[in-house]
Amino acid sequence: MSDPMLHAFFVGRALAEALNEQAERLVTDSLSLLGKFDAEQRERLRHFTEDVMVRAQQAEAAAAQTTSGMTPTAGFGTDGPSTQDLQATIDTLRAEVAQVRVALQQYRATV
């Protein structure tokens, strides 16, 4: 195999295979990093959403407690709100909303 053309062919073919492997590795690693980045961003967004919802629920509970005159610990046991206490709170809030509607209708009728 002393033919320089044959030698150049095999060198070119080996070079093409090596470049193809490098490109494949680069694309695979890039897609892997992109997938990892996407998963991390989705997880951060999920945590952020949960944090916002917890804050909103806390603010809503605090507002409900101040408007209904409840103490901050009313309706909550050691393990959090019980179902019956939560239902009682919901019923109380519904009754208050109904009272406000009646008062608003009376006000509108007098104006």
Q: Quick: pLDDT tens for 76-85.
A: 444 555 667 8
Same domain, 62 and 109: no
Q: Residues 84-95, buried b or exposed e (16+ Cβ, 10 A)?
A: eeeeebeeeeee
**CA separation for the pair 38, 32 (Å, rounded):** 10
Same domain, 91 and 60: no
Total domain count for the chain? 2
Say what the pTM is: 0.44
The letter for the amino acid at 92 is T
pLDDT at residue number 23 = 96
Same domain, 15 and 59: yes
Same domain, 11 and 37: yes
pLDDT at residue number 85 = 83
Helix then strand then coil, % of the chain, to nearest 5 = 85, 5, 15
**CA separation for the pair 62, 78 (Å, rounded):** 18
- Could you list the residue range(s) of the whole structural domain that residue 52 is in? 1-70
Residue pointed to by tokens 């608003």: 104
Q: Determine phi and psi for 75, rounding to 5 degrees.
A: 85, 5
pLDDT at residue number 80 = 54
Q: What is the mean pLDDT of the chain?
A: 85
Read off the tokens for 29.
């690693």
Q: Which residues share a beta bridge with 9?
A: none
pLDDT at residue number 64 = 84
pLDDT (mean) for 51-65: 89
